[in-house]
Structure 1
Amino acid sequence: MPSVSPARDHSIALLFLTYGEVNNPEAWAQWLRKEEADKFSVYVHAKEANKVQHDLFRRNLVKAVDTAWGRVSLVRAHLVMLREALKESKNEWFVLLSNSCLPMVSFETLFDYLNAHKGKSFFDLHKVESQRFQRENFRRVLEEKKANMSEGKEKELALLEELASKEHGETIQAHSQWCILCREDAKALAEAQDAELWLSAFDLLLDEEYVDKSLMLAPDELLPLTYLRYHARRRGERMRKVVNIKVTYSWCCLDGGNCSCDASRAKHPQSFS
């Protein structure tokens, strides 16, 4: 990783999306203990807030929304934390983490690396074959669902058809849920005037049946970067470039149709002891 002289007027927002307590809270506390408090801030969206006991996380709880696996509600939870974190003007990067994550490099190394890529977001993009698989299924599932879509959902249908069109087909971007957003992209998502339209549209298309069978990715693995790329094109800008890198490390069978696991196993990362 490149070494630079970091700008100390910037800080990193750590956004923990958890069921309850972070699995290894003391490891995080030790990782951050040597750092000055103005270098980082912590935000925790916990499904079961009463289970969060460690002071580092308990004192940084945000007001939670109801969430369910594989549903658009996880994007809502991400947006809740982004909105809170954006209130701190020094927060320059916004790192989405799960309760199972552990730091693998020093805070200083992370800070220097992010500062060397200021103004860029970090996504773990799926391979070309997986991208093609998701785009094809996006169109196929949309065709299957169009006839049965509820009245009053014309705007959602129009958005989905636009995304599925040849003009915007490459805009659909599959990526890991876990990402690092620069401040510009965090604001674009958190302050989006059309956020509810997008959330509603993806909720209609990506229902539990398709996500559960791994035929489609969950909304949090499609919506964020697709939204950013779509609006860049609408503004007449070049397709937004991001740093394609793993933000968190896990192993999961989601390589198009080549998964050897059964559907219930494939949708979750492997656990190791």
Structure 2
Amino acid sequence: MKATHVWHLQLNVKDIVVMSGSRKRPVWIILLVNFVILFLIVAYVYSPTTSAACFIFSSKDCTLTFHKQPPALKVPARELTDGETISQVVISEILRTPPVESNNPKIAFLFLTPGTLPFEALWAKFFQGHEGRFSVYVHASREKPVHKTRYFKGRDIHSESVAWGQISMVDAERRLLAQALLDPDNQQFVLLSESCIPLQNFDYVYNYLMLTNVSFIDCFVDLGPHGSGRYSEHMMPEVEKKDFRKGSQWFALKRQHAIITMADSLYYTKFRYYCKPNMEGRNCYADEHYLPTFFNMIDPGGIANRSVTYVDWSERRWHPKSFKPVDITLEFLKNLTSIDDFIHFTSDSKRVLTGPCTWNGIKRPCYLFARKFYPETLEKLTLLFSNYTTLSV
């Protein structure tokens, strides 16, 4: 039908030219009419989807095509350095590239531990019956772990020593991510410590992470001495003080963000050299600032600004509260699983940040995991596991 219609249009063009000539119209009018008709013919035949003509002539859904166009890069407020330009191009391309779909999407559980995992038996109970839907990677920084369950045997990666508060902590995180990214089926990447335990059952955790398109990176503004007070002007111009953020290191990253973390060298280098203990009278810890600051700058809308791992900082000490066997009751554990508001204790004693935990726009429980638990709590936790992990998405 379209070809026939075009043929008729072509005949009409000839008729118009003959008629115009017979009436001795000015040449410029004849040329203008011919040009307009030629444009209409081309627009109709080729049904463009990249211009306004799409909406006029095409029967296709142009809206979807327009939405798939990559977003324009933000106009920088200043001239970027060469490193920033390179970084912006690479990161933008990764963000605009659709993730490779997997027929068997898995969660990669990344354990960052000094040695043997005291809660390995509890994690084995959590994994049991869900084979093929997860991967395990263990980075042991001090001594080779002794594994007792099949889920952890042979899952140790090449590890290096890790010092608390040093960039080596971030290096270990990146090493775990790199190993896990080798498996294309790994779509979510969860960082856990040796003192972490699961708060929900596997199906709940799997659906919570797989059915949302954000990464759970803790990120907030701390205006106190252990937040913005740790910032160094040596990070200029790439990292300004207004962009400096703080957060827990225990993340859950989608694959796209895990790849970006591997691709980054510019911002990582800034934190490697200018965020460390005892520098210019400051104690800056890269594992608390690098990823929160980095993702706040490059993809603020792609992160949830909270962690899915519970930790109690209410005592406002250098380390969070640790839980002993006497603390472990069914009521205590159920309370942890039902918390649906996050809380950030800043280093400004007068400022506490709170807010609702949302999941795909719906208020949901915040936490899938929790820390820090003493090894002696294993027996009680194992006994109560099936009673406190009862939620479903």
Any conservation in 2 of the 1:13–1:94 contact (CA below 8 Å)? Answer: yes
Are 2:218 and 1:124 aligned? yes
Residues 211-250 of structure 1 mapped to structure 2, 5 A cutoff: 216-232=283-299, 239-250=300-311
Q: TM-score, normalised by structure 1?
A: 0.72
* Structure 1: gaps (5+ residues): 1-6, 144-156, 233-238, 260-265
1:37-91 superposed Cα distances (whole Å, 9 cap, x missing partner): 2200000000134233334324100100221001010111010110111111111
CA–CA distance in structure 2, aligned partners of residues 136 and 30 of structure 1: 42
CA–CA distance in structure 2, aligned partners of residues 86 and 222 of structure 1: 23
Aligned AA (1:25): E
Are 2:246 and 1:179 aligned? no
1:170-189 superposed Cα distances (whole Å, 9 cap, x missing partner): 43221101010010000001
Q: Which residue of 1 aligns with 2:140?
A: 46
Q: TM-score, normalised by structure 2?
A: 0.52
Aligned AA (1:136): S
Deviation, structure 1 residue 137: 1.3
Deviation, structure 1 residue 8: 6.2
Q: Which residue of 2 aligns with 1:146?
A: none
Q: Which residue of 1 aligns with 2:177?
A: 82
CA–CA distance in structure 2, aligned partners of residues 210 and 248 of structure 1: 30
CA RMSD of aligned residues (A): 2.6
Deviation, structure 1 residue 245: 3.4
CA–CA distance in structure 1, aligned partners of residues 140 and 164 of structure 2: 13
* Structure 2: gaps (5+ residues): 1-101, 325-393
Q: Considering only CA atoms, is the larger Rg found in Structure 1 or Structure 2? A: 2
Percent identity, please: 28
Q: Which residue of 1 aligns with 2:313?
A: 252
Residue of 272, 278, 283 corresponding to 1:209: 278
With CA pairs under 8 Å and 6+ residues apart, which has the higher RCO, 1 or 2? 1
Any conservation in 2 of the 1:24–1:102 contact (CA below 8 Å)? Answer: yes
CA–CA distance in structure 1, aligned partners of residues 239 and 294 of structure 2: 13
Any conservation in 1 of the 2:228–2:244 contact (CA below 8 Å)? Answer: no
CA–CA distance in structure 1, aligned partners of residues 147 and 185 of structure 2: 27
CA–CA distance in structure 2, aligned partners of residues 48 and 209 of structure 1: 24
